[in-house]
Structure formats: structure tokens, C-alpha cells
């Protein structure tokens, strides 16, 4: 609709004022001593832990990201580099700057605080709140950072017990086997070799196509994945298993299981014997959409930087980047049009966050309209049908604002009265906490 953007408040669409340049440091060719030492320590740790070329490259990439962040934010000299950690060494660490070095005047502020200085009290409180927010943000990004930099699948602490480099040779002939987390050395008699796993996968997929419950199918697929891991099998069949489970997980809105599958697939696709996997770009597009869902824009930027010219031309990648552009620019009209054009697994993943985008759009529309016909909502928000639209209204508990008006019995949403509820939904639409699974 040509008038859609005209109802968007200017403040929401206006560009942000240009950032003021940071106060420059004295011109010098030297780097901060703390940063230099931090880089040296990282290389020493890598040598001590005998990093291979892949792990070393991962470490260097994380160093580059942190240094660029500090430089862009103008805190290259202020960041406490000696307290900084990399996720490659500590999975609990976040790829965020730890903050500024403690200032000498901090103790003086504490003394003034005791004397009742309201100004310094407020400054300290703001500093603590800012620090708390940084820590909370780092914790929220922790899982996505792990997903973005997964360890080799043969080095998963939750799955492999004992010698991680020693492959088990399975002898089990059973097709069906429930998943059980390993707490000891895997028993070869309970591990299925690849030819049995191939038959098991076909058997499970047939059951799923004939109406088998997802809980059962997921359990069986996790068991297959576990048998692959303990045997250190990393081949096209392994890729097929993870791709299959990833698609089925999304079809059932199981984001945790999908996240685990796409994390391992990212690692598998980097292997020389699997680099040309036919579905590589398909799952790369899913990763972009998943990061939109989790608001992990740093990871999306890294993906975009690494895209090859061929990948940039792939229809699924093009579509995912168009969705990203519409999402970031808050162009809901284009976003919902793109949603209507998606299909298959892309649509399954899009469905996981489309309602949140509809709430954001509705919050904007509420500032311009007092009432809105449900026919307009159905068309503009690209609901699948009237039932889908009414389900959305009921799920968001705004059905009490639906009214029947006029002699033509047109159904309206009283957006003027619903505005408070919708803004409340917008504020409570917090970032998802995706729990990782095997």
C-alpha cells in the first residue's frame, strides 16, 4: 500500500544522529600495553593447548572482532584487556568488551558517597546499572556465541566420555534405540555402525511421515546422532542426519534442537571433504534467519562478510538478506510481503518470530488509527486465513477490543482502546532464551 509508510511516526523512521567522534589519544604508533600482553597471552594459551589451524584461526578472528569493536567505540586504550577473555578458551566468556579500567578517583567517590553526596551517588548507581546491563547482555549472547563458534563434533563434553580421539566401532544391530546421555565409556555392543544407522534413519522417517509423534522421532534422531559422534563419523551421511533433524525440528518449532543441529552443520560444512555439500547455502540462510530471531546481529555481520559471490546469488540467501533488511529498517509492509513468499523450512523458521513482528507493526499503526478493520489486518499482515488472524488476536488477548460496526457488519479492531495492551505486549516481547540440547 502506498500510504503505509505515511502512518509511521517520524521518530521511528528517522535516522539516528551521527555519533560524535571520540576524543583521540596522543598520536603514537604503539598499542596499549594491556592489549599487547592480552594478544601474547592468547597465543601462549593456544600453543599450550596445542591448537590446530582451525582453532587458531577461530582465536585470531575473535581477537580481530574485539580489537575492531574497541577501536570503533573509541575505547582501545580504556578497555581492561588484562581481564578480557575469549570464548575459544572459555565457553562461558562473551565476545564483548569487559569495560573500562578502574579510575583512581573511585575510592574518593566511595568516601563522598558515605558523606551523602547525592551527585556522586547517582554517578556510581548509573555506573553499576550500566555494568549490570553489560553482564546481562553478555549472558544473553552466550549461547549464540557458542553456536557461532562450535567445537568439532568429536569434542562434545556432553556426549563423549574418555578418549575423545578414539573412535568406537559399533556392533549393535537394533534399528530403534532411545537416546541416553553417556556417563561412561560407550559400549560398542550398544552403538550401531553406519549401515545400521542408515536403515534406522529410513525407518524413523517412514514413521514420521505416517504420523509418528515428534517426541519419539526427536528421541530416535538424537540417538542416531550420538552413535555417529562416538564413532567419530563425519561424512555425507552425518550431514544428512543433522540436516534432516534440523528441518523436522523447525517444522515442530523446536528451536533448541534446531540450534544444536545448525551449530554442528556449520562445523561439518567447513571440512574439506564436506565443503561442497549441496544444502550448505540452504542452512546458511536458516542461520541468518535464526540470528534475526535471536537478535544476534554481530553473527549476521560475520556471515555476510564471509559470503562468496556464488552464495550471494543463491535465492535462499537473497531472500534471507531481504528479510534482514526489512526487519532492521522496520519496513513491516515489505517484511510481511516477504513472509507470504516463503515456503517449506524457511517459512517454518519465519513463523517462529512473525508474531513478534506483527506486534511491533501493530504498535506503530495504533499511533495513527483509532480503528482498523480486520480485513485490513488480514491482508496487510499476510495471515494465512481468517482463522489464523483470529488465533493471533486471541493469543495476544486483544479480542476484547474487536467490535462490530456499521450497517455492513464490518469487524474492526479498536486500536485506540487496544493501544495500551499492545504496547505492553511489545515491551514484554523479550529476547528468547534458547536452551541448548545435545
Clarify whether residues 217 and 266 are in a common domain. yes
Of 80-84, 241-245, 330-334, the range with the highest mean pLDDT is 241-245
* Per-residue confidence band for 73, with pLDDT thresholds at 50, 70 and 90: confident
- Lowest average pLDDT, out of 51-65, 157-171, 328-342, 402-416, goes to 157-171
| Cα–Cα distance list, 397 to 200, 404, 421, 424 (Å) | 44, 17, 8, 11
Place of cell 568488551: 97
pTM over 0.85: no
Tell whether the model's pLDDT for residue 434 goes beyond 60: no
pLDDT at position 291, please?
A: 95
CB 79 within 8 A of CB 97: yes
Clarify whether residues 320 and 177 are in a common domain. yes
Give the contacts of 174 (CB within 8 A, at least 6 positions apart): 192, 196
CB 191 within 8 A of CB 200: no
**Alpha carbons 434 and 256: distance in angstroms, whole number:** 6
Long-range Cβ contacts of 314-321 (<8 Å, 24+ apart): 314/281, 314/285, 316/281, 316/282, 316/284, 316/285, 316/346, 317/281, 317/284, 317/285, 317/288, 319/285, 319/346, 320/285, 320/286, 320/288, 320/289, 320/346, 321/288
CATH number of the domain at 228, please: 1.25.40.990
pLDDT at position 238, please?
A: 97
Cβ neighbours around 353 below 10 Å, total: 19
Q: Is residue 18 part of a domain?
A: no
pLDDT at position 117, please?
A: 44
**Alpha carbons 23 and 75: distance in angstroms, whole number:** 10
The residue-averaged pLDDT of 256-280 equals 93
pLDDT tens for 214-251 read 999 999 999 999 999 999 999 999 999 999 999 999 99
Q: Is residue 4 part of a domain?
A: no
Give the contacts of 371 (CB within 8 A, at least 6 positions apart): 403, 405, 412, 413, 414, 415, 416
Q: Is residue 22 part of a domain?
A: no
pLDDT tens for 137-151 read 555 555 444 444 444
Grid cell of 401 as nine digits: 477490543
**Alpha carbons 408 and 306: distance in angstroms, whole number:** 56
**Alpha carbons 267 and 286: distance in angstroms, whole number:** 15
Q: Is residue 207 part of a domain?
A: yes
Given 306, 324, 353, the domain boundary residue is 353
Given 336, 353, 370, the domain boundary residue is 353
Phi, psi of 196 (to 5 degrees): -75, -40
Q: Is residue 7 part of a domain?
A: no
Place of cell 540452504: 282
SS (H, E, C) 25-42: CCCCCCCCHHHHHHHHHH
Q: Is residue 180 part of a domain?
A: yes
Clarify whether residues 138 and 172 are in a common domain. no
3-state secondary structure of 411: strand
Given 149, 181, 205, the domain boundary residue is 149
Tell whether the model's pLDDT for residue 189 goes beyond 50: yes
Q: Is residue 14 part of a domain?
A: no
Clarify whether residues 94 and 162 are in a common domain. no
pLDDT at position 104, please?
A: 45
Clarify whether residues 340 and 358 are in a common domain. no
Phi, psi of 79 (to 5 degrees): -65, 140
Clarify whether residues 112 and 54 are in a common domain. yes
Clarify whether residues 197 and 313 are in a common domain. yes
Q: Is residue 318 part of a domain?
A: yes
Clarify whether residues 53 and 119 are in a common domain. yes
Clarify whether residues 360 and 349 are in a common domain. no
CB 275 within 8 A of CB 310: no
Clarify whether residues 240 and 329 are in a common domain. yes
Clarify whether residues 363 and 339 are in a common domain. no
pLDDT at position 53, please?
A: 73
Provide the 8-state DSSP code for 117: -
Q: How does 356-386 read in b/e, with b if 16+ C-beta sit within 10 Å?
A: bbbbbbbbbbbeebeebebeebbebbbbeee
Clarify whether residues 346 and 409 are in a common domain. no
Number of domains composing the chain: 3
pLDDT tens for 163-176 read 556 788 999 999 99
pLDDT at position 311, please?
A: 94
Tell whether the model's pLDDT for residue 77 goes beyond 80: yes
Provide the 8-state DSSP code for 13: H
Boundaries of domain holding 258: 154-353
3-state secondary structure of 407: coil
* Per-residue confidence band for 130, with pLDDT thresholds at 50, 70 and 90: low
Mean pLDDT across the chain: 80
Amino acid at each position: 500500500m502506498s500510504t503505509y509508510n505515511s502512518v509511521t511516526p517520524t521518530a521511528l523512521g528517522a535516522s539516528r544522529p551521527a555519533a560524535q567522534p571520540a576524543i583521540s589519544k596522543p598520536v603514537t604508533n604503539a598499542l596499549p600495553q594491556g592489549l599487547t600482553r592480552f594478544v601474547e597471552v592468547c597465543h601462549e594459551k593456544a600453543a599450550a593447548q596445542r591448537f590446530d589451524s582451525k582453532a587458531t584461526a577461530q582465536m585470531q578472528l575473535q581477537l580481530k572482532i574485539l580489537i575492531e569493536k574497541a577501536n570503533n567505540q573509541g575505547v582501545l586504550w580504556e578497555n581492561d584487556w588484562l581481564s578480557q577473555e575469549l570464548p575459544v578458551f572459555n565457553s562461558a566468556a562473551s565476545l564483548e568488551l569487559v569495560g573500562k579500567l578502574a579510575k583512581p578517583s573511585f575510592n574518593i567517590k566511595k568516601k563522598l558517597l558515605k558523606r551523602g553526596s547525592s551527585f556522586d551517588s547517582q554517578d556510581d548507581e548509573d555506573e553499576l546499572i550500566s555494568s549490570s546491563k553489560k553482564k546481562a547482555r553478555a549472558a544473553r549472547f552466550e549461547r549464540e556465541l557458542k553456536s557461532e563458534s562450535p567445537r568439532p563434533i568429536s569434542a562434545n563434553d556432553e556426549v563423549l566420555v574418555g578418549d575423545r580421539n578414539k573412535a568406537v566401532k559399533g556392533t549393535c544391530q537394533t534399528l530403534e534405540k532411545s537416546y541416553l546421555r553417556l556417563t561412561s565409556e560407550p559400549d560398542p555392543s550398544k552403538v550401531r555402525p553406519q549401515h545400521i544407522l542408515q536403515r534406522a534413519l529410513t525407518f524413523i522417517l517412514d514413521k514420521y511421515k505416517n504420523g509418528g509423534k515428534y517426541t519419539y522421532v526427536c528421541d530416535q534422531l538424537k540417538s542416531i546422532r550420538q552413535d555417529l559422534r562416538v564413532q567419530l563419523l563425519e561424512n555425507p551421511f552425518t550431514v544428512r542426519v543433522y540436516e534432516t533433524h534440523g528441518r523436522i525440528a523447525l517444522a515442530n518449532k523446536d528451536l533448541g534442537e534446531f540450534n544444536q543441529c545448525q551449530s554442528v552443520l556449520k562445523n561439518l560444512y567447513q571440512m574439506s571433504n564436506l565443503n561442497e555439500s549441496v544444502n550448505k547455502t540452504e542452512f546458511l540462510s536458516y542461520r541468518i534467519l535464526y540470528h534475526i530471531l535471536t537478535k544476534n546481529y554481530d553473527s549476521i555481520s560475520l556471515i555476510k562478510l564471509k559470503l562468496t559471490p556464488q552464495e550471494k546469488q543463491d535465492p535462499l540467501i537473497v531472500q534471507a538478506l531481504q528479510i534482514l533488511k526489512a526487519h532492521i529498517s522496520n519496513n513491516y509492509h515489505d517484511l510481511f510481503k516477504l513472509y507470504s513468499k516463503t515456503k517449506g523450512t524457511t517459512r517454518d523458521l519465519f513463523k517462529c518470530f512473525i508474531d513478534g513482528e506483527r506486534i511491533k507493526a501493530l504498535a506503530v499503526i495504533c499511533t495513527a488509527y483509532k480503528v482498523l478493520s480486520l480485513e485490513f489486518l488480514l491482508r496487510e499482515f499476510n495471515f494465512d486465513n481468517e482463522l489464523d488472524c483470529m488465533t493471533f488476536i486471541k493469543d495476544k488477548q486483544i479480542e476484547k477490543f474487536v467490535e462490530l460496526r456499521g450497517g455492513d457488519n464490518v469487524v474492526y479492531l479498536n486500536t485506540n482502546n487496544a493501544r495500551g495492551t499492545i504496547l505492553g505486549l511489545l515491551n514484554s516481547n523479550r529476547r528468547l532464551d534458547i536452551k541448548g540440547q545435545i
